[in-house]
Each structure stands twice: as structure tokens, then as C-alpha cells.
Amino acid sequence: MMQRDNASAMLGMAVELDEPGRAVVSMTVRDDMLNGFAITHGGLVFALADTAFAIACNEDERVTVAGGADITFLKSTRAGQTLTATAVRRVVSGRTGLYDVTVSDETGDPIAEFRGRSIITNRPQSE
């Protein structure tokens, strides 16, 4: 999946850990990722968390997609900082799952909490 993820590649995301139900993805904040207040654009923090969520919930040959997600922003960051999203499966029941993602800065301080809801489809992942 990540080999075809052009958006995550364009944002410079790096997969640090990819195992069933758990993923860690990092990204260094660039100047072109800042909003008008010179802090990291919230949509890009969400994108980082969403990528870790996608990796954690795609555990087998079936395509798993987001059914919804929420994020709470806790702390702002700036250019040059490295953000790390750690996704963990909470539960899978039938075709739905619940995952929590913590986004932290390089000091380990949490900057956002994300909760994603997944849906397992019947489609196999294409090669």
C-alpha cells in the first residue's frame, strides 16, 4: 500500500514500524507545511496520523478503509520539528475496527490524539 501512496511520499513520511495492529510513521515539518500563523497546518498533522492509522489497520490481503476519524490538537509545532504518529489497534469486531493514534514531537510530547474507525472491505489489495 505505501509503495503506491504518493501523498505520504510527497509529505516526506517515513514508516518506522509496520506490524499487524500497530504502526509508527514520522515526518519532518517543512516551511511549506506551515499555516498563516507559522505553525504546522492541522490538516498535515491529520494526514500523518491518518497514514499511521491506514498502515495499522491494513493487516492482511483485504483492503481496509476509514469509516471516520476525529482529531484533537494539543500543542502546535513549527518547521524543523519531527512529528511521529503511533497507531494502535483497540478492537476489531466483524468488519469494523477502532484505532488510536498519538502524534508526538521530537521530545515525546503529545501534540495530537486521533481516533480512527475502519471498515474491512471484500476487495483484495492490488499488486
Q: What is the pLDDT of residues 4-19, one digit of tens each?
A: 889 999 999 999 999 9
Task: Tell me what pLDDT residue 29 has.
Answer: 98
Range of the structural domain that residue 60 is part of:
2-124
Q: How many domains does the chain have?
A: 1
pLDDT band for position 126 (cuts 50, 70, 90)? low
Per the structure block, which three cell numbers stand in for 33? 507545511
Residue 127 has pLDDT above 70, yes or no: no
Q: What is the pLDDT of residues 19-60, one digit of tens each?
A: 999 999 999 999 999 999 999 999 999 999 999 999 999 988
| Integer Cα distance of 62 and 91 in angstroms | 17
Question: Residue 35 is part of a domain; what is its CATH number?
Answer: 3.10.129.10
**What is the distance between the terminal CA atoms of the chain, rounded to a whole angstrom?**
9
| Integer Cα distance of 23 and 84 in angstroms | 10
Q: What is the pLDDT of residues 58-113, one digit of tens each?
A: 988 889 999 999 999 999 999 999 999 999 999 999 999 999 999 999 999 999 99
Alpha-carbon separation of residue 47 from 27, 33, 53, 114, 118 (angstroms): 10, 11, 10, 11, 16
The whole-chain average pLDDT of the chain stands at 95
48: DSSP letter: H
State the pTM of this model: 0.94
